[in-house]
Amino acid sequence: MNAFFRTWIWPVAVFLAVILGWAGACQLFKIPPYILPGPIAVLNAVIERRENLWFAFRVTAFEAAGGYVLSIVAGIIIALFFAQSAAIRRSLYPYTILLQTVPIVAIAPLILMWFGSGTRSVMLVAFIICLFPIIANTTQGLISVPRNLVDLFIMSNASKMQMLLDLRLPHAVPNLFIGLRISGGISVIGAITGELFASSNAVGQGGPWLFDHLCQQPASDRLPVRPGADGQRPGFPLLFPRGLLRMAAAAQMA
């Protein structure tokens, strides 16, 4: 009991401090609710809109998880291929870096244009953003086996397959997990980015669809988003960061 208490006292204290600080700041500085609503207002909005939010959460979670799982399978296969030779890595690695450095907001519209703006395309956006961390980390793990361990396997006349299954793959597992941790988080960003573009075609069904839906309602101080001046959906530059923040908040609360 005592140990349990010591484990949880600080995380709980910090959480309460953040919530109280947030509520206090809203009160103290008289921040209008359409700039920053207090925690209670947000909680009320979540409860009030729980059905919509829950639906949106499930759609987005499905898309994010789908892209994530696909990226794990494809990433491991590609990493196994990359681990075969330095020539392969030198020739193909730059393209994976390209995949990583080109902003996902630049790729997403193309994918939606090519593959239509359904769940599949959104999943593909999540997949692309998740792929690089898996490839990079797994490849690193596969090729960084200590030389002595490789020699040990050579001395046992191990086949290439044994070398891969009994040495390289298990050795790469910790690295793979680093990749999984990074990609797990960004898969949601990928899915939401995909949805933003999908919803601009009025076909998306996830968070941004809900966002649109909410924006079209009369302005309400319980809603933590400000609609455009004339009640229209706000322009894209405005929508993008807020939409992300809001969806992140919704995901946390749901």
Partner 1 sequence: MINPHPASTTADGQTARSTPGPPFITLRDVTKTWPNGTTVLSQIQMDVAKGDFISLIGPSGCGKSTLLRLISGLSPMSTGFIQIDGMIPENAREIMSFIFQDATLLPWRTVSRNVELGLELQGGETRTGRSAKARELLKLVGLESVADHYPRQLSGGMKMRVSIARALAIRPKILLMDEPFGALDEMTRDFLNEEVLRLREVDKFTTFFVTHSVSEAVFLSNRIMVLKANPGQIHREIQVPFPNPRVASLRSAPEFLSLVGEVSSALRAVKSQK
Exposure of 70 in the CB half-sphere (CA atoms within 13 A): 18
DSSP the chain: -HHHHHHHHHHHHHHHHHHHHHHHHHHHTT--TTT---HHHHHHHHHHTHHHHHHHHHHHHHHHHHHHHHHHHHHHHHHHHHTT-HHHHHHHHHHHHHHHHS-HHHHHHHHHHHH-SSHHHHHHHHHHHHHHHHHHHHHHHHH---HHHHHHHHHTT--HHHIIIIIIHHHHHHHHHHHHHHHHHHHHHHHHHHHHHHHHTT---SHHHHHHHHHTSPP-TTSSSPPPTTSSPPPHHHHHHHHHHHHHHHHHH-
Question: Cβ 78 to partner 1, closest distance in Å?
Answer: 23
**Residues 111 and 196: beta-carbon distance below 8 Å:** no
Of 21, 24, 146, 231, which one interacts with partner 1 (CB under 8 A)?
Answer: 146
Beta carbon nearer to partner 1, 60 or 175? 175
Beta carbon nearer to partner 1, 158 or 254? 158
Question: Cβ 152 to partner 1, closest distance in Å?
Answer: 5
Question: Cβ 173 to partner 1, closest distance in Å?
Answer: 7
Beta carbon nearer to partner 1, 6 or 147? 147
Question: Cβ 166 to partner 1, closest distance in Å?
Answer: 7
Termini Cα distance of the chain: 29
Beta carbon nearer to partner 1, 151 or 221? 151
Residues 125-144 that bind partner 1 (CB under 8 A): none
**Residues 111 and 128: beta-carbon distance below 8 Å:** yes
Question: Cβ 5 to partner 1, closest distance in Å?
Answer: 30
Beta carbon nearer to partner 1, 110 or 154? 154
Give the interface segment with partner 1, choosing from 74-82, 121-129, 136-144, 146-154 (CB under 8 A).
146-154
Beta carbon nearer to partner 1, 57 or 153? 153
Beta carbon nearer to partner 1, 19 or 178? 178
User: Using CA atoms, how far apart are residues 68 and 54, in angstroms rounded to an integer?
Assistant: 20
Question: Cβ 164 to partner 1, closest distance in Å?
Answer: 13
Asked if 32 interacts with partner 1 (CB under 8 A), we say no
Question: Cβ 179 to partner 1, closest distance in Å?
Answer: 18
Q: How many chain residues touch partner 1 (CB under 8 A)?
A: 17
Residues 147-186 that bind partner 1 (CB under 8 A): 148-149, 151-158, 162, 166-167, 170-171, 173
> Using CB under 8 A as the criterion, which residues of the chain lie in contact with partner 1 when the complex forms?
146, 148-149, 151-158, 162, 166-167, 170-171, 173
